[in-house]
Amino acid sequence: MGLSAPASRVHELAPEELELYRLLDAERLPRHVAIIMDGNGRWAQQRRLQRFFGHQQGAESVQYVVETASRIGLPWLTLYAFSLENNLRRPRTEVSFLMRLLKTYLVGNIRRMNDNNVRIAYIGRTQDLPAEVQETMRWAAEQTQQNTGTTLTLALNYGARGEIVDAARAAVRSAMANAAQTGLSQEQCVEQCAQQITEEAICQALYTAHMPDPDLVIRTSCEMRISNFLLWQIAYAEIFVTERYWPDFRGIHLLEAIAAYQRRERRYGGLGEKPSPAKTAAPDEAFVRS
């Protein structure tokens, strides 16, 4: 699963990032941060600009955040860049713009990705994206596949319910193939298949089988919802919501979210440790005003 943390390059952080990073516990950094990037349209609207400008500025934020993540040695960063619902429900002009922006982003940033040792990967029904976009995506993944630092996973044409359906189908196919070889009665076959549909089997069939589950989910623009993002994988993730719109989000804000994450106590349904006085004194915000 590639769990060893990539080497950190904290000396490359901006001075204000370094100051905040020094307050973090380097031993308890999240392994996987997933971000719902939201508010591009409202950012543009606030400035009386067309939505497209918000997306363009949002692509800049992506690069800032990726580079800070790579400098602190975050192994996995997953960004919700384009949902199945965006594809179905947004005007065609906006969808085409987002597709062009993705291509431009990948081509324009490949050198910086390699300079930062970032590997690019994707999850989602990417096979349904336009052929030329898929080609650029493949090219970018190949160009960065030797990198050993942060894995940047872009969720594209992604929906978590669709992913779970895809995983359940894959798990059933594999269970049926196993049962078919055994010469059992139909009833026994059905039961054997059912027994093979375990949490482990579903996990192994998800697009994210090769990654640890996210420890921290960040959502920008103050919306308190998950919007069909990694529903299975975030069962025990900490959630951090900020008012800031995605085009204004920078590496320092990623570090602020990690600081809030480190003030939480993760209990995974158990009783956890008794909170220490220091922990109870610190605000355990799920939401911060920017």
Confirm if 242 and 218 have CB atoms less than 8 A apart.
yes
Residue 260's φ and ψ, nearest 5 degrees, are -65, -40
Nearer to ligand FPP, 157 or 233 (CB): 157
Min CB(123)–ligand FPP separation in Å: 13
Residue 10 DSSP class: G
Question: Considering beta carbons, is residue 86 or 233 the nearer one to ligand FPP?
Answer: 86
Residue with Cβ nearer ligand FPP (155 or 252) = 155
Q: Minimum distance from CB of 167 to ligand FPP (Å)?
A: 24
Distance CA(65)–CA(258), nearest Å, equals: 13
| Given the residues 38, 40, 109, 157, the one annotated as active site | 38
From the CB of 82, what's the least distance to ligand FPP, in Å? Answer: 6
Q: Is 86 designated active site?
A: yes
Residue 166, token pair as written in the block = 């895809």
To 5 degrees, how large is the angle CA 219–CA 224–CA 229? 55
Nearest 5 degrees, angle CA 251-CA 257-CA 261?
140
Least distance in angstroms from the C-beta of 29 to ligand FPP? 23
Residue that the structure tokens 């085009």 belong to: 247
Q: How far is the CB of 166 from ligand FPP (least distance, A)?
A: 22
By C-beta, is 81 or 113 nearer to ligand FPP? Answer: 81
Is 40 assigned a catalytic role?
A: no
CB of 150 to ligand FPP, least distance (A): 14
Binding positions for ligand FPP, rule: CB under 6 A:
37-42, 55, 58-59, 62, 81-82, 86, 101-102, 105, 154, 246
Q: Which one from 40, 86, 109, 147 is the annotated catalytic residue? A: 86
105 vs 158, beta carbon nearer ligand FPP: 105
The answer to whether the beta carbons of residues 241 and 224 sit under 8 Å apart is yes
Q: Are strands 32-36 and 238-242 parallel, antiparallel or unpaired?
A: unpaired
Q: What's the longest Cα–Cα distance across the chain?
A: 68
User: Taking Cα atoms as reference points, which of 242, 239, 237 lies closest to residue 252?
Assistant: 242
Which of residues 58 and 251 has its CB atom nearest to ligand FPP in the complex? 58
> What is the Cα–Cα distance from 216 to 9, expressed in whole angstroms?
21
- Single-letter code of the amino acid located at 189: C
Q: Tell whether the torsion through CA atoms of 22, 27, 32 and 35 is positive or negative.
A: negative
Encoded tokens for 233: 């994988």
Helix, strand, coil percent content, the chain, rounded in steps of 5: 50, 15, 35
Closest residue by Cα to residue 153 from 232, 87, 81, 98:
81
| Residues with active-site annotation | 38, 86
